[in-house]
Structure 1
Amino acid sequence: MRASDGAALVPVSNVPGLGVQLVDPRLQPPHVIAGAASATEGPGGVYVLENGFVRVTVNAKGQIASLYAKDEQRELVPEGEVANFFELYDDAPLYWDAWDIEIYAQEKYRPLDGADVSIADRGPLVASLAVRVPISGSSVLTQTISLSSLSPRLEFGCDVDWHENRKCLKVSFTWDIHSDVATYETQYGVVQRPTHRNTTWDMAKFEVCAHKFADLSEFGYGVALINDCKYGHSTLGNTMALTLLRAPKSPDEYCDMGRHQFRYAVYPHSGTFSESNVVREAYQFNVPLLQLPAASTHIFHDHPFFSLSGARNVVLDAVKVAEDDGQGYIVRMYEAYGGHARATLTTQLPVAEVTKVNILEEPMDSANKAPGIRWLEYPRSLQVQFKPFEVVSLKFTF
């Protein structure tokens, strides 16, 4: 199967983290696709994207009028509201054009509600819509809204030709979810910020810097807004927003002018943030599978060099060559949700020594002496204990 852009589509499952899997599209047997994705056009210029997890209704303006979660039989967009709503704000800070965003800028904007929508892919592996949104006489946004057969994650790929003057482009999503706080990812952890502006302190947090995601959850259900390179978030009440582009004129009058490509996604999930797999989904969105041609199957290994198991709240974040001598590998892990954990790290490499190091890769203790670390199967497998948001770095020498 091929997508509308000519890319070959092949379903691949159970690819190990930090590992590889050999796939030959010519040898893929015909199969029935469970929860196949589809794109259909209804009356009045309404389009429907659907798979086994969600049903998404997109109106003629390219906005999400409905997001129905099949597992919970729940509508996530309140009646009369929309999601994926583009807004163009005036953006003229008092000082520091390229750095500051003022709260009063949110009072003056115009909606971008003129769009052309068409079906790009009808399924069954991927269903997608092509959306063209004029921003001004010189700027235009082209977007692909896509839904695969494998996940409830709704993805938005954007290509923007940007030529504005002190303007800010945002996209907002209003959900039928209510919470006093939203959760934002930071490096090796998360922070929570209020969704209201009851005090001057709360008001000062109107824009939040986050990494891969922001999450709004109530008891039993939530929605994460995931991105791959946009870090300005805000949540007011039940409306989440993501800052996409700005157009400052100082110190560089041509700052950010030209073409931009970026992606973001919406991921509905059961449970609160702490009960979800939002961290995993955000990683998968930011670090997608790489497709590499292989001349020989002999380069592939049955198992990855390092693997982590036993705790879904622990992330194996990095495997890198040691900085000091280049004679070993640094394996860095962290607890992502704010709880205790016990995880098992396994390697396929012939280990001579394992040392716990700090973030500067300076030795702390050997694995035989380091608290919270014990061998399960020397020298292949060891167990690591984590405190909330703890970062653990180990140096393996061979």
Structure 2
Amino acid sequence: VRVEHGDDGATVLDNGRLRVTVEATGLVTSMVDLAAGRELVPAGTALGRYELLTDEPFQWDAWDIQRDAFLTASGLDSSEVTGVDTAADGSATVTVKAAAQGVGIATRITLRPGAGSLDFAADVDWHTEEQFLKVDVPVAVQALNAQYECQYGIVERPIQKNTRSDEAKFESCTHRFVRVSDPSYAVSVANASTYGSDVAPIQGTAPAGAGRGTMIRLSLLSAPLYPDPRTDQGRHSFAWSVVADAGMPETLAEASRLNAPVLDGVPAIEPLVRLEDTEGVPVLDWVKVTDDGSGDLIVRIYEAAGGAAKATLAVCGELEGASVREVTVLEEDGLDADLTRAFAADGPQPAQGARLTLAPFQLATLRIGR
């Protein structure tokens, strides 16, 4: 990753796919997708700006978020770059410190070689009361809806609030990512576990030099007083990633990278099961032994994008000659007759080369036995 320092204190990171500008204040004012020739940060906005909101719900202090709190947002008192480093793998990291009364945040902004995403990692020292911490991730994409990951699928919420029902959806649960897309381009924000997020349109005013897009704000911490006045007090760590040209496969891959632990010192082995010749967005989510102690293998596969999907099952050499059949989520035979099947034929069949067909958001549990 090439690192350049400007006379104004800005730092420019370039890995050949993305060019990122981090100002002396620690805010990212530009993120350019070089292949698409597209600026991803709307003019007049910045990635990585932290906001504090007054958090005083009418009731259920530790669980509710009051809509009025969104009118009280203010940026942290101070923010500045404290260092720029290059790692052995070629990654470049800009370290930023931000602070307000009772709040200290150390952020690392990292661009990896060849990566199509920009990584943020934050360590927060949190000692405040009745405050709500969010971080701004504005993207230069105009869309009607935002897509949020839920368990084995996605849900959509309106970005522009036109009805009371829309307005009631001001904060949405965000499992591993939120994604916004227009007909030609998409950006997603993958996270390594946050409370949720909110989205709003950035209207932009051309005469003032402000750009249009969508404001995504990840919810990081709150500080309720009831029932436990010490809730969330202390140190916390968060991570999120802004993904450029974010098709659903790329978004899922980035979400997995952030959330799946990397185990050092484990022998490199051939995957037990793989999906080949895929069409659509099928995801191999779980591989585990059965709960009944038989030694059979359970594989869970789902369709992640809301469309039809197909894939061919491939197994490792140790499972040569194994058979596969579809079972219930409790790993038992006897699928309900009303459920859509992943295999065209019922009963066991050779696992190697078995062809799967999945309906939108369909979850299939497969049992492989030798």
Give the TM-score of the pair, scaled to structure 2: 0.88
Does 1:258 find its partner at 2:222? no
Q: Residue deviations 1:316-342, cap 9 Å, x none? A: 000112123353221000001111111
Indicate whether 1:135 and 2:100 are aligned.
yes
Question: How big is the shift at 1:378?
Answer: 3.2
Matched, 1:80 2:80: no
1:361 alignment partner, SS class: coil
Cα displacement (A) at 1:94? 0.6
Q: How does 1:224-373 map to 2 (within 5 A)?
A: 224-237=188-201, 238-269=214-245, 273=247, 277-287=250-260, 289-292=262-265, 300-301=268-269, 303-311=270-278, 313-348=281-316, 349-350=319-320, 352-364=322-334, 372-373=343-344
Give the conservation status (yes or no) of the 8 Å contact 1:38–1:126: no
In 2: Cα distance, 1:194 partner to 1:166 partner: 28
Q: In the alignment, is the contact (CA less than 8 A) between 1:86 and 1:113 conserved in 2?
A: no
In 1: Cα distance, 2:220 partner to 2:294 partner: 39
What SS class does the counterpart of residue 69 from structure 2 fall into? helix
How far apart, CA to CA, are the structure 2 residues paired with 1:52 and 1:307? 31
Structural mapping, 1:29-44, within 5 Å: 37-44=1-8
Preserved CA contact (<8 Å) 1:351 1:397: no
Conserved 8 A contact 1:353-1:397:
yes
Tell me by how many angstroms 1:102 deviates.
0.8
Separation in 1, partners of 2:40, 2:351? 49
Name the CA shift for 1:300/1:44 in 2 (closer, same or farther; >3 Å): closer
Give the 3-state SS of the residue equivalent to 1:216 in structure 2.
strand
- Contact residue 222 and residue 268 of structure 1 kept, 8 A: yes
**What is the CA–CA distance in structure 2 between the aligned matches of 1:130 and 1:372, rounded to whole Å?**
51
Q: CA deviation at 1:239?
A: 0.6
Q: CA deviation at 1:81?
A: 1.7
CA RMSD of aligned residues (A): 2.1
Partner letter of residue 306 of structure 1? V
Residue 34 of structure 2, aligned match among 64, 70, 76: 70
1:111 paired residue among 71, 75, 82: 75
Counterpart for residue 23 of structure 2: 59
1:190 partnered with 2:154: yes
Change (3 A) 1:60 1:318: same
**TM-score, structure 1 as length reference:** 0.82
Question: Unaligned stretches of 5+ in structure 1?
Answer: 1-36, 294-298
Please give the secondary structure, in 2, of the residue aligned with 1:381.
Answer: coil
Matched residues in 2 for 1:396 and 1:267: separation? 35
User: Structure 2: where are the runs of 5+ without partners?
Assistant: 202-213, 336-340
Please report how far the alpha carbon of residue 285 of structure 1 lies from its aligned counterpart in structure 2 after TM superposition. Answer: 2.3
The answer for the alignment partner of 1:8 in structure 2 is none
The 8 Å contact of residues 40 and 122 in structure 1, kept in 2 or not, is answered as: no
Deviation at 1:373, TM superposition (A): 4.5
Secondary structure of 1:269's counterpart equals coil
- Residues 359-396 of structure 1: per-residue CA shift (max 9 Å, x gap): 1222136xxxx662469993533111100110000112
Name the structure 2 match of 1:378.
350
Q: Residue 300 and residue 235 in structure 1: after superposition, are their counterparts in 2 closer, same or farther (change >3 A)? A: closer
**How many corresponding residue pairs?**
348
**For each residue in 1:226-264, what CA deviation from the matched residue of structure 2 results, as whole angstroms up to 9, or x when unmatched?**
101114111111111100111111111111111101201
Give secondary structure in 1 for the equivalent of 2:244.
strand
In 1, distance between residues paired with 2:263 and 2:38? 35
Matched, 1:394 2:369: no
| Kept in 2: contact 1:328–1:397 (CA 8 A) | yes
SS at match of 2:245: strand
Cα distance between partner residues in 2 of 1:78 and 1:139: 28
